[in-house]
Amino acid sequence: MERMKQGIYTEVFFNLTDDDIYKSEVIKDIDKNIGQLLKTDAKFYAIHVSPSEKKLQAMGNTEQEQAEAMKRYIRKVVIPGYARNFNKGLSAEDIKFYGKIHFSRDRSNNELNIHCHLIVSRKDQSNKIKKSPLTNHRIPKRNG
């Protein structure tokens, strides 16, 4: 809010295909994507993407350029890798997630502090496949 008041560039939520998603839509979409989850199951997981200062410098000269580069990285590298790691035949398009880019960190002395928080639904886009980064989804070893 402080950045908005000062007229400084800000970001709202994004997903694999869309930008400028409102917080209320994110909450509603994650909350309704819980089919067959137990009361004790998490509805979503939080992931933090925090590039080094050196990588941030390579992402662009302005915060807007860096934010756009960060979104491309998340869409093209982070989410596809996340999907593949479940070994359930999932692709980036199957992952329901929302990201929000932040431009500062209270506990850092770095000049560049752009980072992204991702909210990833426990269920896939179809609300059928339950996934969890807390379990081990390795492909079984074959004999012979």
Sheet order of strands, 95-102 included = 44-49, 115-124, 95-102
What was the pLDDT predicted at 130? 86
What was the pLDDT predicted at 114? 86
**13-32: average pLDDT:** 93
How sure is the predictor about 112, in pLDDT bands with cuts at 50, 70 and 90?
Answer: confident
Q: Residue 88 pLDDT more than 50?
A: yes
* Structure-block tokens of residue 88: 């359930």
Domain boundaries, the chain: 11-124
Kindly report, residue by residue over 23-82, the tens digit of the pLDDT. Answer: 889 999 999 988 888 888 889 999 999 988 888 889 998 888 989 999 999 999 999 999
What was the pLDDT predicted at 8? 57
Q: Which of 42, 33, 25 is nearest to 127 (CA)?
A: 33
Cβ–Cβ < 8 Å for 126, 71: no
Higher pLDDT, 109 or 138: 109
Q: Residue 140 pLDDT more than 90?
A: no
Global pTM value: 0.81
Percent of the chain with pLDDT over 70: 81
Beta-ladder partners of 118: 47, 99
What was the pLDDT predicted at 144? 46
Amino acid at 132: S
Higher pLDDT, 133 or 83: 83
